[in-house]
Amino acid sequence: MEKVGYRDILLKYINEQEPEQPILTEQITKYAVQQTGLNEIDVRKAVNVNMARLEKAGHVVRISKGIYCRKIPTAFGYYIPNREVLFCKQLLYQANRIIGYETGLSALNRLGLVSQMPKRRYIATNLYRKKVPADILIEIRKPPAVVNETNYRYLQLLDAISNINEAPVDTTRPAEVIKNTARELGLNTEMLILMARRHYSQKTLIRTIDIMLEG
């Protein structure tokens, strides 16, 4: 293992990452395979061994199984990014591609529909089967469709429309908030209605039509 120089390969990859960027063993394994040209199964074993060693040596911090981050030296000691933020990021992005979005009560709060801010953040993600560590206040939900760069804003707004009657909405004109949000994000009304028809209940479809085509 050591003859291949895994430690140097992994450190090069780690030091090229942004401080707030989660480092996934899956991604670093693919990088090591490219660098060594060796079998992925063998490389994965070596990566796991060497990441554990790098953690003990203080180069990285383990966030949860298969997720690490850089340990950044500063004038005041070591800076370690927030574990919850890092865990959330790997639910939202994969190799710079969008794979998730915020939903539920926390998203309604950010949209200005409710003033109540829940303790937990709700994330709809393609990685909906991923286990959340007990000390991280994130709840994962299965999205209505596979999330990508094109549809995530539509799905997020449709989730809000779907939840609006059951949530503690305290803004006086929620329909206006939703219409203004769609306008600010440049969402196409016909596409929004089409996606509601394809991926949501009849109730949500009718509610979407009523809100977007009112007047």
pLDDT band, residue 3 (cuts 50/70/90): low
pTM above 0.85, yes or no: no
Q: Average pLDDT of 73-98?
A: 82
Q: Average pLDDT of 70-77?
A: 76
pLDDT band, residue 1 (cuts 50/70/90): very low
The predicted structure's pLDDT at residue 103 = 96
Give pLDDT tens digits for 6-17: 899 999 999 888
The predicted structure's pLDDT at residue 215 = 53
What single string gives the DSSP state of each residue in 125-192? ETTTTPPPPTTS-EEEE--SS---TTTHHHHHHHHHHHHTTTS---SS-HHHHHHHHHHHTT--HHHH
Spell out the domain ranges in the chain: 2-79, 83-212
Q: Average pLDDT of 112-119?
A: 89
In SS3 terms, 22-67 reads as CEEHHHHHHHHHHHHCCCHHHHHHHHHHHHHHHHHCCCEEEEECCE
Of the candidates 140, 141, 157, the residue with the CA atom closest to the CA atom of residue 195:
157
In the predicted structure, residue 71 carries a pLDDT above the cut 80: no
The predicted structure's pLDDT at residue 33 = 92
Q: Domain 2-79, CATH 3.40.50 — does that match? A: no
The predicted structure's pLDDT at residue 83 = 81
In the predicted structure, residue 2 carries a pLDDT above the cut 50: no
In the predicted structure, residue 125 carries a pLDDT above the cut 70: yes
In the predicted structure, residue 188 carries a pLDDT above the cut 50: yes
Give pLDDT tens digits for 18-57: 777 888 888 899 999 999 888 899 899 999 999 999 998 8
**Dist CA 185 CA 99 (whole Å):** 18
Give pLDDT tens digits for 127-169: 999 999 888 899 999 999 999 999 999 999 999 999 998 899 9
